[in-house]
Amino acid sequence: MSASKETEGAVAVITIRNPPVNALSQQAVESILKVLKEVQFDPAVKAIVICGENGKFSAGADIRTFENIGQKSDSLSHFLEDVNSMAEKSEKPVIAAIEGVALGGGLELALGCHYRVAHVKARLGLTEVLLGIFPGAGGTQRLPRLIGLLPALEMITTGKIVFAPVALKLGLIDSVTEDNTIKAAIHFAQNVIGKPLESRRLCTKPIQCPPNMETIFNDSKIKLKKLFHGAISHQLCVEAIRAAVQLPFAEGILKERELLFSIFNSEQARDQAKARQYAFFAERRVTKWTTPSGANWKSASPHPIGVAAVIGLGTMGRGIVVCLAKAQIQVIAVEQDGKQLEMGRKAVTKILERETLTMQQRGLALMSDSFGSITFTLDFNSLKNADLVIEAVYENMALKKEIFKQLSSICMPEAFLCTNTSGLNIDEIASVTGRPHLVIGTHFFSPAHIMKLLEVVRGYHSSPTTISTVINLSKVLGKIGVVVGNCPSFVGNRMMGPYLHQAIFLLEDGCYPEEVDKVLEEFGLAMGPFRMSDLVGLDVGWRSRMESGLTGPKLLPGALVRQREGKRYSPLPDILCEKGRFGQKTGRGWYQYETVGGRNAVPDPWVQNFLHDYRKAHTIKQKPTSQNEILEWCLYPLINEGFNVLEEEIASGPEDIDVIYNNGYGWPRHMGGPMFYASMVGLPKVLTKLEVFYENNPDIPSLKPSGLLKKLVKQGSPPLKEWRSQLGYQNSKL
Ligand SMILES: CCCCCCCC/C=C\C/C=C/C(=O)SCCNC(=O)CCNC(=O)[C@H](O)C(C)(C)COP(=O)(O)OP(=O)(O)OC[C@H]1O[C@@H](n2cnc3c(N)ncnc32)[C@H](O)[C@@H]1OP(=O)(O)O
């Protein structure tokens, strides 16, 4: 049974029951249809309320079934629109009682109802586009009729979710309640029994259109192309809304169906939808973490964190303080230096003021006193009150060890000690404490209060409770925590290494930064390698290369300019740094910027001349490189490193890597993530290309194909979901 009926006087209450989120499977939809028909013919029923079991209206169509639907998926949307249309045509008022979520097909169902009553905390959105499809059960035709063209265009093309108070302002719902939503909806229903319904049927409503509609549609398509880098579903949304404006309702519904069907007829659109749906489930999969020692999410219980401390109020520390406070956790923010403390306090206050404003705009009544309280202090002893400490000072092993030594004696014996590092050895840091089992790495991404990713780096001694506590904390902070192993640069940055080197080698061989960036940005990456390096700052890598003796004063005399320890090395970024070109922060890097700190990257003739002279000085012949060659040359070594990471048990599955790339490195979701992309390109193709690259460039070791990649190809390239079973520990120790 996926829908049931009870009556409250003259009001029938239909409850959708499909745990955990009342997804609309074919069975659920058929069941709602059946009960809805029954109540239509029941003379005792004068009004109908539709709600969802367990405080959730519905999370929309059942995404799990999409894989098997394929070409026939049209039938699910068809069915769903049948229910919506039956509700709409009903001669008895139908009221949606929305608690929790009304997303995708769930909201489309609510749009078929005559009225919508929602709980104040309910979230509503037509999120289909984020799964590579679009609202195919009347949503593109009904929403613009209800809330107007422009707000509907925004919600449908971006998948934006709004909270009930904003939905009320938009006219998306009719009433908001802070009490029991079902009771409020029944009460609402009793009041509208017998009232005329014609004006409540969205199918009959005209759309109010501004005169410059065509410009609006065209501009929207251009904007979406930039924002979502060539994802097809966003463009189709605009077409469906155009149909809503230009055609009568019934014809618009047919057009919506035709456009939905076009997704299944286009290989590219289908692949993009598959990639996005894979990315959705991958994010749920990574919460079910495992470690090589056999610990896993089921075997450990997280500890709640009431008080957290942050050490260091630089850019990262400030962002971390903000996300803890936003999660209503009490924060102790510690600095060594009074001036830094004051600057940190001001910066945090400013960000929180902005956040308060955004929350108010999003209809969240949260004011600044709803944030966790923050104590700014120079007193290290105040750390004794923290359940968990996050050290966020700059990347220096000696300094971090010094701090952890102090933490070990100051903090409560059961307090968790986290280090925010993008690549330092967690075990070395843990070794100076008397509690290595409570020490763990938390690699936040900048800006820490915005970026969703958190790499949770388990040390050799990190206990399952420690891992579980930090993963749980990441959820509380609204982030996606991915458990990774301890190795230099962990997962994301480690895979970036070969990619960035390959991009720089392209400059030696004849390309220009803007050419390489263009190819990777057209592929869908948020930023090409050179724009990204300019943003991060070229000096970051330069300092670390100097530290490890690859350049600068520690470089051994007699080293060849373009080689280190027999491997190909490019001194190009070092030379740029020596010339003070650190990127955006100095106004010059691989590009030039209008000002110091400027964002607008403009190709720099200086760089072009410099590269020209460099090639001449080293007698390098400029090789023509096609767009496809640039793509393969940069991405395949990144993917290869991903296979190495899996083989070494640093990431526990391909989904973990893909979640890291989608949420921390600007990988386009409609390409699923690098490992998903490799599976779509075909592992044999990736392997063959790497073999050729390596044969021609034996001095670039990262081109050597990974053992796991070779093994998978030998096994006939099994689908990605089977790769985990090929990794040593996954099955053996659980
Ligand atoms: C090749 C393409 C074929 C396409 C076929 C087209 C048919 C078109 C028909 C009609 C148009 C309508 C389409 C849609 O409705 S698409 C679905 C739109 N809905 C969403 O985008 C919502 C997705 N869900 C979420 O955002 C969240 O899950 C949440 C906010 C509802 C709840 O979040 P949270 O409390 O954090 O819990 P989890 O995310 O962990 O979810 C719990 C559990 O539930 C599973 N789940 C969630 N949503 C769905 C769903 N729509 N279908 C199936 N399963 C869902 C989720 O996977 C978790 O499961 P677990 O990992 O096993 O625990």
Burial of 281 from C-beta contacts in 10 A (0-12 / 13-18 / 19+): middle
- Cα–Cα distance, 729 to 734 (Å, whole number): 8
Measured from the Cα of 106, ligand 1's closest atom is 15
Q: How many whole angstroms from 58 Cα to the centroid of ligand 1?
A: 9
Measured from the Cα of 80, ligand 1's closest atom is 10
pLDDT score for 733: 40
Q: How many whole angstroms from 261 Cα to the centroid of ligand 1?
A: 21
Within 6 A (CB) of ligand 1 lie: 20-21, 23, 59-64, 66, 69, 73, 76-77, 80, 101, 103-105, 127-128, 131, 133, 135-137, 270, 273, 284
Measured from the Cα of 67, ligand 1's closest atom is 1
Look at ligand 1, atom 38, and give the residue with the nearest C-alpha.
284
Nearest to 590 by CA among 668, 500, 652, 680: 500
At position 160, the amino acid (one-letter code) is K
563: which 2 tokens? 């080689």
Is-contact 149 207, C-beta < 8 A? yes
Angle at 500 between CA 497 and CA 503, to 5 degrees: 150
Q: How many whole angstroms from 625 Cα to the centroid of ligand 1?
A: 42
Look at ligand 1, atom 6, and give the residue with the nearest C-alpha.
73
Measured from the Cα of 274, ligand 1's closest atom is 1
- Cα–Cα distance, 438 to 399 (Å, whole number): 19
Residues forming a β-bridge with 440: 418, 458
Q: What is the DSSP string of 165-199?
A: HHHHHHTS-SEEESS-HHHHHHHHHHHHTTS--GG
For β-strands 3-8 and 11-16, DSSP reports them as antiparallel
pLDDT score for 360: 75
Look at ligand 1, atom 11, and give the residue with the nearest C-alpha.
136
- Cα–Cα distance, 680 to 62 (Å, whole number): 24
pTM of the model: 0.95
Q: How many whole angstroms from 105 Cα to the centroid of ligand 1?
A: 10
- Cα–Cα distance, 444 to 317 (Å, whole number): 10
55: left (phi over 0), alpha (psi -120 to 50) or beta: left
Please count the CA atoms within 13 angstroms of the CA of 531 that sit on its side-chain side: 20
Distances in whole angstroms, Cα of residue 309 to Cα of each of 369, 372, 405, 457, 582: 19, 12, 16, 19, 32
Look at ligand 1, atom 4, and give the residue with the nearest C-alpha.
66
Look at ligand 1, atom 61, and give the residue with the nearest C-alpha.
284
| 2, 16, 21, best to mutate for ligand 1 pocket (most atoms within 8 Å of CB) | 21
Is-contact 471 289, C-beta < 8 A? yes
- Cα–Cα distance, 19 to 5 (Å, whole number): 17
What positions carry a catalytic annotation?
108, 128
| 25, 26, 62, 63, best to mutate for ligand 1 pocket (most atoms within 8 Å of CB) | 63
Please count the CA atoms within 13 angstroms of the CA of 219 that sit on its side-chain side: 8
Q: How many whole angstroms from 300 Cα to the centroid of ligand 1?
A: 26
In 10 A of CB 6, how many CB atoms?
11
**DSSP assignment letter at 583:** B
- Cα–Cα distance, 467 to 484 (Å, whole number): 10
Alpha helices in 396-491 (DSSP H): 397-410, 426-430, 464-476
Nearest to 248 by CA among 204, 200, 199: 204
Measured from the Cα of 281, ligand 1's closest atom is 57
- Cα–Cα distance, 475 to 224 (Å, whole number): 29
Look at ligand 1, atom 25, and give the residue with the nearest C-alpha.
59
Burial of 70 from C-beta contacts in 10 A (0-12 / 13-18 / 19+): exposed
Q: How many whole angstroms from 142 Cα to the centroid of ligand 1?
A: 22
Q: How many whole angstroms from 277 Cα to the centroid of ligand 1?
A: 9
Distances in whole angstroms, Cα of residue 579 to Cα of each of 14, 72, 507, 574: 71, 61, 18, 9
Look at ligand 1, atom 60, and give the residue with the nearest C-alpha.
284
- Cα–Cα distance, 581 to 533 (Å, whole number): 11
pLDDT score for 729: 58
603: which 2 tokens? 């190709």
- Cα–Cα distance, 703 to 494 (Å, whole number): 14
What's the start-to-end Cα distance of the chain, in Å? Answer: 35
Neighbouring residues of 498: CB distance < 8 A, sequence distance ≥ 6: 637, 638, 640, 641, 702, 703
Provide ipTM, 2 decimals.
0.97
What are phi and psi for residue 633, nearest 5 degrees?
-65, -35
- Cα–Cα distance, 176 to 173 (Å, whole number): 8
Longest dimension (CA), the chain: 96
- Cα–Cα distance, 588 to 697 (Å, whole number): 31
Q: What is the DSSP string of 402-422?
A: HHHHHHHHHS-TT-EEEE--S
- Residues of the chain under the 50 pLDDT cut: 366-368, 731-734
In 10 A of CB 225, how many CB atoms?
13
